[in-house]
Structure formats: structure tokens, C-alpha cells
Structure 1
């Protein structure tokens, strides 16, 4: 039996964050909604929980994909709604994530602002927003915001993209 791990990612609209991670081999499930960090359980922002098999896709690859598919170096005015964060579920993950971010920083010109936060609470999005991209890829938001991210996945991370998406 394979071990299933989970990690939370937030940074931009959870519609595209969900689509990005749903498109990957080794990802079992993606829950779309809002996450609050443990130390501030009322401070929710858009995010996803990704359930993955580490023997099929490494945490380093998930983190790299996350950083590349949202504005991980920009502290824009909507950060309260779109916090750039990685939410861990087990305390031993914090140090690993710090090392990964430090190593991945070399690939960016600007400092990465993505926080590493202990998971606190999750509220799922309404059912009508679940699987937003794959229900209708022709919606205007999908075409202008999500499809370009899917193209980036196909170009830079093709070995991780599910054949259903390619």
C-alpha cells in the first residue's frame, strides 16, 4: 500500500491552484477552499489541500510547481485573500519546506515571499466551484487565467503532467 501525504498551497485564485495540481501524476485528490494557519485560525485565504503519493511525485516538485504558477515573489494588494503560503500538517515538514524554498530561491530573481505555515483550519468551496477548470475549460476566466498556467505545466513540468491533460 502506498503512503498518501497531504500539503496545502495558497497563492492565487483557488480555481487555478486546484486545476494545476489536479493535472499532475501522483496527485490523488485536491480539495479546493480556504485555509487558515494554526496561529491565526480566523484568517482564511484561498487555497487547496493536495493529497499526493511521494513515490510518484516529490514534495520538491510540488513546491516548485506551486512557486512557478502564482506570483510567489509579489506582495500585491490582494494578499489577504490570496496569501502565498505552503501549509504543513506534520511538524517535521517545516524544516524540509524551509530547505526546499531556500534551494528553489536560486531560480528566482526576486525574493520568494511564500510563507511556510502550520495548517490550522479548512473550509471547502461551494460545490459549484469544485473542479472549476475541468468542468468547462472554455469559460472566460479559464481561458485567460488557468489555461496559460496549464500551458506552463506542459512546457516546464511535462514529466509530471497526467496524460489525460497532455
Structure 2
């Protein structure tokens, strides 16, 4: 098993996307931080996954393609497009994938690669947000389109409904 942190806007969306992937064994939703100047708490998830089933480069690519990592919108610094690394080799893989996806899009790479330093869980009522009630208006409007994209573009790694 491998673990990695992913930040990309709303943690409900990131959690819902990552939970839909084969090979993912656990997703902890909450707030992550790194070293200064990126030490403010930011929404994200910690994903535990089997890299033999879901390669790290594929997980990072899915993450980049399912949130707006090219933007700079971040109310109160709460949203940060980032990959939080903590295991050997993760930084090199993240660097390569972020550069490739940015080049394909013809934009500057803005997703940060940060050392993972700390995590705190969301309140219980916010965890498993999509799984507990996928019919919520927020889920229908924001998470369902991301899951539809996954099913169309990454069908081989998406769990059956």
C-alpha cells in the first residue's frame, strides 16, 4: 500500500473522485498542510491505494483532470491544488505528470508538490459526503460530472456503480 495527499478545491469533490477508483482502499477527508509558506490548512484527502492496481502516475493524472489546478481561486487560502508527498519516488512521479498534463493543456503548471506534514480529519458529518447521499444538490452539480468524466476517460480504473 502507498499513501499520498491530494488537494484540489473542495475536499468533498476530491474524496468522491478518489473513492470511485479501483485500488483505493481508504480515503481520509480533511485538511492538509505542509511547510511554510504552505502551512495554512487546506482542504484535501489522504488516499491509501495499491499501486499495482492503481499506479501513482494514473492517480495523479486523474486528480489533475478532475479539478481546476490551473486556476488561482482560493477563498481564505482554503483550496490549494497540490500533491502532498511523503514516500520515496513520489515527488519525481508527481513532477513528471504535472508537467505533462500542463504541456498538453498549453498552460503553466500550478499544482504544487509539497512535503506532507500534517492532517486533520473533517467533522464526521462531512466525511464520505458523496457516498452517504449522492442525491444532494452539491453532489449532482459538482461531483457527478467529475464521475461521468472518469467513466468516459478512465473506465478501466473506475469501480462499478
CA distance in 2, matches of 1:17, 1:123: 16
* 2:62 pairs with 1:52: no
Residue 101 of structure 1: aligned partner: 98
CA distance in 2, matches of 1:22, 1:157: 14
Structure 1 alignment gaps of length 5 or more: none
Moved beyond 3 Å, runs of 4+: 38-42
1:41 to partner: Cα distance: 7.3
- Cα RMSD (Å) of the superposition? 1.5
**Contact persistence 1:30–1:48 (CA under 8 A):** yes
1:55 to partner: Cα distance: 0.3
Distance 1:106-1:42 versus aligned 2 partners, 3 A rule: closer
CA distance in 1, matches of 2:26, 2:96: 25
Which residue of 133, 142, 161 corresponds with 1:145? 142
CA distance in 2, matches of 1:56, 1:100: 18
Aligned length: 161
CA distance in 2, matches of 1:42, 1:32: 17
**Contact persistence 2:23–2:49 (CA under 8 A):** yes
Structure 1 length-normalised TM: 0.91
**Contact persistence 1:39–1:120 (CA under 8 A):** no
CA distance in 2, matches of 1:65, 1:136: 23
SS at 2:45's partner residue? Answer: strand
Distance 1:61-1:144 versus aligned 2 partners, 3 A rule: same
